Amino acid sequence: MSARDLRTVDDLVAAGLVAPEAAPGLARVVDRFALTVTADMAALIDPADPADPIAAQFVPSPEELVTRPDETPDPIGDDPHEVAPGVTHRYPDRVLLKPTHLCRIYCRFCFRRDRVGDGEANLSEADLDAAMAYVAAHPDVFEVILTGGDPLVLSDRRLGLILDRLEAIPHVEVVRIHSRVPVVDPERVSAATAALLRRRFATWMVIHVDHPRELTERAAAAIGRLVDAGVPVLSQTTLLAGVNADAETLEALFRRLVTLRVKPYYLHHLDRAEGTARYRTTVEEGRGLMRRLRGRLTGIAQPTYVLDIPGGAGKVPIGPDPLTEVGEGEGGTRRWSVEDPNGTRHDWEG
Ligand SMILES: *Cc1c(COP(=O)(O)O)cnc(C)c1O
């Protein structure tokens, strides 16, 4: 395996992932959008395969500098809900807390690609104090979601201090950590890290994983350490053309996850971040894939297909709807046509 992280275009050329003549153009791309490919992910890439699904997620492309009219720096519209630096409060019972803008790896399709990477990096002490004060002052906040950036780029000591402070706020009953680290840099998640997460509140981990090949034996071991420590693990996946937009890949991914004791949580329709057009699929494709998984894949491996409505209106399920209304029923009920997993329709009233 590649012994080290790839952090520059020169590193990509040396690893055989980019042709030397493409380097100057890509230097402009990585000037704008941060680059790191972890050693674990670099080792998975087959440089001879131009369609490699791991390379497709992490190796930059000149197309990233082409912005379509419907692409924006804040595609899901979180900015208006930022109530303090690093704190986003869009839904009443949960807040996002972003202790860092850094990631361990940079996905080329990231919806926060405009803010992650260099620049502000970590939240200052004063901003962290203000964030904790905000949570403490809002008793409706049942859950704090640590995201970023990737909270697991912080040291165990720093992460532990944040959890200690949240533990002192009695109404925080759940802390959720969104991270790609258990998959892309599994050695970072030691047994001690996992033990550190077990708290007065329930700590949940949501890992981001897009392709079954990412779930190496090392990633499987890191996930095992989390679950064994009593941290329930969920997953989220972005539906990506050129990576996972086919039923076989998704089925293999979701099956592997449940064997690792991970519940597939969300399948995200791609957000329209700048320069990400090469990953687009249509909602009809996404629904078709969900339809194919329904019935042939165990129910515990089925995620909810969701869209974050541009402009800040929120996340909504957009999976196939098996019910079509066909008329009025008796006594206030309605008549429906309901589609079974084989595509056959049945009349039903309710
Ligand atoms: C996605 C998101 C959440 C979490 O939503 P869940 O449906 O609970 O996973 C919370 N706050 C914001 C601003 C979000 O974008």
Q: How do residues 34-46 score in pLDDT, each as one tens digit?
A: 999 999 999 999 9
Q: Which residues line ligand 1 (CB under 6 A)?
A: 76, 78, 81, 88, 90-91, 94, 96, 145, 315
Residue 76 identity:
I
Q: Note if 278 is an active site residue.
A: no
Does residue 106 carry a catalytic annotation? Answer: no
Do 145 and 95 meet the contact criterion of CB atoms below 8 Å apart?
yes
Boundaries of every domain in the chain: 9-65, 79-317, 321-350
* Residue 99 CA to ligand 1 centre (angstroms): 16
Residue with structure tokens 């997620």? Answer: 57
Active-site residue among 90, 104, 213, 256?
A: 90
Query: May I ask the CATH architecture of the domain 79-317?
Result: Alpha-Beta Barrel (3.20)
Read off the tokens for 173: 């009953």
Q: How confident is the model over 176-195, as pLDDT tens digits?
A: 999 999 999 999 999 999 99
- Residue of 114, 91, 254 lying closest to 176 (CA atoms): 91
Q: Taking residues 247-264, report their average pLDDT.
A: 98
Confidence of residue 79 (pLDDT cuts 50, 70, 90): confident
Q: Label residues 67-99 b or e (16+ Cβ within 10 Å = b).
A: eeeebbebbbbbeebeebebbbbbeeebbbbbb
Instruction: Tell me the per-residue pLDDT of 89-109, one tens digit each, with 9 for 90 and over.
Output: 999 999 999 999 999 999 999
- Of the candidates 271, 274, 273, 234, the residue with the CA atom closest to the CA atom of residue 254: 234
The answer on pLDDT for 78 being more than 90 is no
> Is the model's pLDDT at 238 over the cut of 80?
yes
Residue 214: the pLDDT is 98
Residue 103 among the catalytic residues: yes
Active site residue 112: yes
In the annotation, is 315 catalytic?
Answer: yes
Closest residue by CA, ligand 1 atom 6: 315
Q: Which of 94, 115, 280, 287 is catalytic?
A: 94
Q: Which atom of ligand 1 is nearest to the CA of 206?
A: 9
* In the predicted structure, residue 1 carries a pLDDT above the cut 50: no
Out of 104, 108, 110, 113, the active site residue is: 110
Question: What is residue 121's predicted lDDT score, i.e. its pLDDT?
Answer: 86
| pLDDT class of 350 with cuts at 50, 70, 90 | very high
Closest ligand 1 atom to residue 96 Cα is 11
pLDDT average, residue stretch 201-214 = 98
CA gap 306, 17 in Å, rounded? 33
